[in-house]
Amino acid sequence: MHTIAAIATPHAAGGIAVIRISGDTAISVAQQCFRSTGGKSLAEMSGYTCVYGSFLDTAGSELDDGIATVFRAPHSYTGEDTVEFSCHGGIFVTRQLLETVYAAGVQPAEAGEFTKRAFLAGKMTLTQAEAVMDVIGAAGKRELAFAHAQQNGALFHRVQQISQGIVRSLGDLAAWADYPEDEIPAVTPESLHAALQPVLEQLDSTLATYDYGRILQSGVSAVIVGKPNVGKSTLFNLLSGSQRSIVTEIAGTTRDVVEEQIRLGNVTLRLSDTAGLRETEDVIEQMGVKIAEERLAQADLILAVFDTTRPLDDDDRRMLEQLPEKPVIAILNKSDQSAQLDTDELEPHFSRVITMAAREGSGLEQLQQAVEELFYQAEVTPELGIVANARQKQCLEQAREQVQLALEALDAGELLDAVTVLLEEAANALLTLTGERVSEAVVNDVFSRFCVGK
Ligand SMILES: Nc1nc2c(c(=O)[nH]1)N(C=O)[C@@H](CNc1ccc(C(=O)N[C@@H](CCC(=O)O)C(=O)O)cc1)CN2
Ligand SMILES: Nc1nc2c(ncn2[C@@H]2O[C@H](COP(=O)(O)OP(=O)(O)OP(=O)(O)O)[C@@H](O)[C@H]2O)c(=O)[nH]1
Ligand SMILES: [Mg+2]
């Protein structure tokens, strides 16, 4: 395939930067950009060897010194001939070296193109390729364990098992059609139904892992809400370890949503601080309130904050009514001062109530514990495989729908041909999931979400 190149390391100053060149002419084009100190040509080198020398600029003058590593097809990440240049990690130096490589006749790599080539070369399945980005994005030990399990084919195998169930039923249907009347093996609509029911259940249990997969991958979207001045921004700053959100004693301080990704124990939160919820004449504050209400609807987790130094009032009560049906943790803040809040009215609304003094930093352990209880699913093991993204979920939903329709068709006594068509569609949806039978458009879509250089 035509030769591509990209910077594989972050586009920032660093100790070393790596430029990866992969494709049919990788070694010869790399040779045009590099002179080894000992006079060795890259063409003479075997795979997995490296050599020290100088990188050249487009005019052929020395640009930097560094290391070139040669990989020989098929033993490389992409399965193609590959050369990696490790140069000094300056943004300008790296960019200049990349220009030299382009000038030697190499195309810029598209997002995810190296991994796409690895997939097309049969080095990995589509779900394994998707897991590469999850390894990069993993925020902690557990996230990494799940990404590694996916890289090892956890979901792939789980889906293959489901496929086998469908294929077995398709085989039975074919036998039914092929045998003359009197030789029909023991295939009946009832037996087909009994064989497909577990398939439906496997699809459901696999689909059920999606919510957890999403949280592992992108974190829990959490929103801090409450009436003005209860200490939402103080809590936000405490959790994010920053002073990003402005804190004052004036009610109505926060208007824009302030966001940070934070780690609380074993859980990543995408945390938003919002404007205090109240009825107000101030147009800007009204807009802040509106955005806060939208966030409330989208969040996975709500941290509802109350000020214990004041009795519950109408603003608090209005907020209580606005809380959607989703995980909520009530935070009784300012516990360092004498309490005026009667918690009896609050408790029926919340299964988790935590007393804190955000300004002092107390109550954080209890909050962490509550969040982990809600979102850290220790019992889910990585090896079983989880649905890691929306594309995979969509394929499973499609398969589920077809199997469901097939079951209904069987019950309704419809022609077995109709059942066959439905099951073939279900099997196809699963082949799309694993990438075993997938359109170019789907493949392109998957890899377009990757970073350039991966
Ligand atoms: N320098 C460097 N480090 C890197 C990468 C890379 O491309 N370059 N990777 C990029 O993501 C990851 C490693 N991925 C790789 C996967 C397979 C092969 C490889 O050579 N595979 C051969 C040999 C396998 C074997 O010995 O068992 C093969 O598949 O035939 C190389 C890198 C992380 N570290
Ligand atoms: N005593 C005490 N005061 C606190 C505590 N947390 C916050 N405060 C004070 O409460 C006031 C309001 O805090 P903010 O964090 O700005 O409150 P908010 O809920 O973000 O307010 P708005 O943005 O206006 O909705 C500030 O004067 C804080 O210092 C606490 O734990 N104890
Ligand atoms: Mg605030």
ipTM of the complex: 0.84
User: Residues 6 or more apart from 249 whose CB is under 8 A from it?
Assistant: 229
pLDDT at 166: 97
User: How many other CB atoms are found less than 10 A from the CB of residue 241?
Assistant: 10
Q: Of 154, 152, 155, 135, give the one whose Cα is nearest residue 143.
A: 135
CA 324, 235, 296: angle at the middle one, nearest 5? 20
pLDDT at 18: 98
pLDDT at 185: 63
Mean pLDDT of 151-176: 93
For residue 156 and ligand 1, the question of a CB distance below 6 A is answered with no
H-state helical runs in 179-244: 189-207, 210-218, 232-240
Q: Of 200, 214, 213, 216, give the one whose Cα is nearest residue 397.
A: 200
pLDDT at 437: 93
Mean pLDDT of 328-357: 95
Average model confidence (pLDDT) for the chain?
Answer: 95
pLDDT at 379: 84
User: Residues 6 or more apart from 306 whose CB is under 8 A from it?
Assistant: 226, 230, 312, 316, 330, 331, 332, 333, 341, 346
CA distance 108 to 157: 35
pLDDT digits 0-9 by tens, 355-382: 999 999 999 999 999 999 999 988 889 9
Q: In what order do the strands lie in the sheet with 301-307?
A: 258-264, 267-273, 220-225, 301-307, 328-333, 353-355
pLDDT at 416: 86
State phi, psi for 44 to the nearest 5 degrees. -85, -10
Confidence of residue 143 (pLDDT cuts 50, 70, 90): very high
Q: Of 247, 246, 245, 248, give the one whose Cα is nearest residue 260.
A: 245
Match 């890259």 to its residue by tokens. Answer: 42
Residue 361 among known ligand-binding residues: no
pLDDT at 183: 64
In the chain, the percentage of residues whose pLDDT exceeds 70 is 98
Checking if the pLDDT of 179 tops 80, the result is: no
pTM over 0.95: no
Element (H, E) at 4: strand 4-7
Residue ranges with strand state E in 287-379:
301-307, 328-333, 353-355
User: How many other CB atoms are found less than 10 A from the CB of residue 353?
Assistant: 18
For residue 77 and ligand 1, the question of a CB distance below 6 A is answered with yes
Confidence of residue 182 (pLDDT cuts 50, 70, 90): low
Protein residue closest via CA to atom 22 of ligand 1: 75
For residue 193 and ligand 1, the question of a CB distance below 6 A is answered with no
Report helix, strand or coil for 131.
helix
For residue 229 and ligand 2, the question of a CB distance below 6 A is answered with yes
The upper half-sphere exposure of residue 58, i.e. CA atoms within 13 Å in the direction of its Cβ, equals 9
Q: Tell me how far apart the 2 most distant CA atoms of the chain are, in Å.
A: 87
- Expressed in angstroms and rounded, the spacing between residue 258 Cα and the centre of ligand 3 is 9
The upper half-sphere exposure of residue 111, i.e. CA atoms within 13 Å in the direction of its Cβ, equals 11
Checking if the pLDDT of 388 tops 70, the result is: yes
Q: Do 233 and 257 contact (CB within 8 A), yes or no?
A: no
pLDDT at 180: 62
Between 191 and 26, the higher pLDDT residue: 26
pLDDT at 31: 98
CA distance 69 to 47: 8
State phi, psi for 445 to the nearest 5 degrees. -65, -45
Candidate from 9, 77, 454 with most ligand 1 atoms within 8 A of CB, to mutate: 77
Element (H, E) at 426: helix 416-434
Match 């075997």 to its residue by tokens. Answer: 46
Checking if the pLDDT of 275 tops 90, the result is: yes
User: How many other CB atoms are found less than 10 A from the CB of residue 261?
Assistant: 12
Residue 237 among known ligand-binding residues: no
pLDDT at 187: 77
CA distance 258 to 273: 5
For residue 74 and ligand 1, the question of a CB distance below 6 A is answered with yes
Match 């002419």 to its residue by tokens. Answer: 25
In the chain, the percentage of residues whose pLDDT exceeds 90 is 91
Mean pLDDT of 430-449: 94
Confidence of residue 130 (pLDDT cuts 50, 70, 90): very high
pLDDT at 415: 85
Candidate from 223, 225, 233, 234 with most ligand 2 atoms within 8 A of CB, to mutate: 234
CA distance 85 to 52: 10
CA distance 213 to 379: 14
Report DSSP state, residue 262: E
pLDDT at 181: 65
Mean pLDDT of 219-227: 97
Start-to-end C-alpha separation, the chain: 17
Mean pLDDT of 31-58: 97
Sketch out the chain's domains with CATH numbers: 4-109 (3.30.1360.120), 141-209+385-448 (1.20.120.430), 216-375 (3.40.50.300)
Mean pLDDT of 380-408: 95
Q: Do 320 and 225 contact (CB within 8 A), yes or no?
A: no
Between 177 and 66, the higher pLDDT residue: 66
User: How many other CB atoms are found less than 10 A from the CB of residue 38?
Assistant: 8
pLDDT digits 0-9 by tens, 206-218: 999 999 999 998 8
Q: Of 437, 442, 438, 429, give the one whose Cα is nearest residue 400.
A: 429
pLDDT at 418: 93
Report helix, strand or coil for 260.
strand
Mean pLDDT of 345-364: 95
For residue 276 and ligand 2, the question of a CB distance below 6 A is answered with yes
